[in-house]
Amino acid sequence: MEVKIPGVICRPLVVYTDQRGWLAEIFRQDETAPEHIPVMAYMSVTEPGVGRGPHAHRDQTDLFCFAGPGDFRVVLWDNRADSPTFGTRQDFHLGASCPAVLIVPPGVVHAYQNVGQGPGFVCNFANRLYRGPGRLEAVDEIRFEDDPDPPFRLE
């Protein structure tokens, strides 16, 4: 998959199937840059037609896994003023029909919407703890979801 935004990595999952089902490696320490190594993980379920985001992080890199079930339209916007692709938008279609890992660096605004018929699963392996150790720090998010006139839209 061609990626237009520097620092973003989109890697198709290699899916190994047999009579039991399937298996895919999400990340390996020997194939992942040190700054992307996860320190926490979470899984979310998004209902059909529902979107999450847009938001960005100041310091956190997200390592998303869109493996299914469900399919998602994922939209990224390069909001880093010092980036050669500042202002660039890129759309991806990821999930059951195109399983992939998507690494989103700090400053890149991201959002996704479940475009499938049923609930969709997304896993995130972030390189920073949510709210820091003991959940005592401010949330590392720049949120655009509640802005009445947001500069970033899923439409």
Please say if the pLDDT value at position 72 is more than 90: yes
Look at residue 148 in the predicted model and tell me its pLDDT: 84
Q: How far apart (Å, rounded) are the C-alpha atoms in residues 144 and 86? A: 17
Across 106-130, average pLDDT: 97
Q: How far is CA 77 from CA 29, 48, 105, in A?
A: 27, 23, 11
Residue 1 in this model has a pLDDT that exceeds 80: no
User: What is the average pLDDT score of the chain?
Assistant: 95
Closest Cα partner for 80 from 63, 58, 102, 112? 58
Contact between 16 and 22 (Cβ < 8 Å): yes
The pLDDT of residue 155 is above 80: no
Reported pTM: 0.94
Segment 9-28 mean pLDDT:
95
pLDDT exceeds cutoff 80 at 110: yes
What pLDDT does residue 149 have? 86
Domains along the chain?
9-131 (2.60.120.10)
* pLDDT reading at 86 higher than 90: yes
* Local structure of 35: helix, strand or coil: helix
Residue 70 has pLDDT above 90, yes or no: yes
Residue 30 backbone class (left: φ over 0; alpha: ψ -120 to 50; beta: rest): alpha
Given a contact cutoff of 8 angstroms between Cβ atoms, the answer to whether 128 and 38 are in contact is no
Q: For residues 49-69, give the mean pLDDT.
A: 96
Distance of CA 155 to the CA centre of its chain: 18
Alpha helix locations (H) across 63-148? none
Contacts of 26 (CB under 8 A, 6+ apart): 13, 63, 65, 67, 101, 123, 125
Cα-trace Rg, the chain = 15
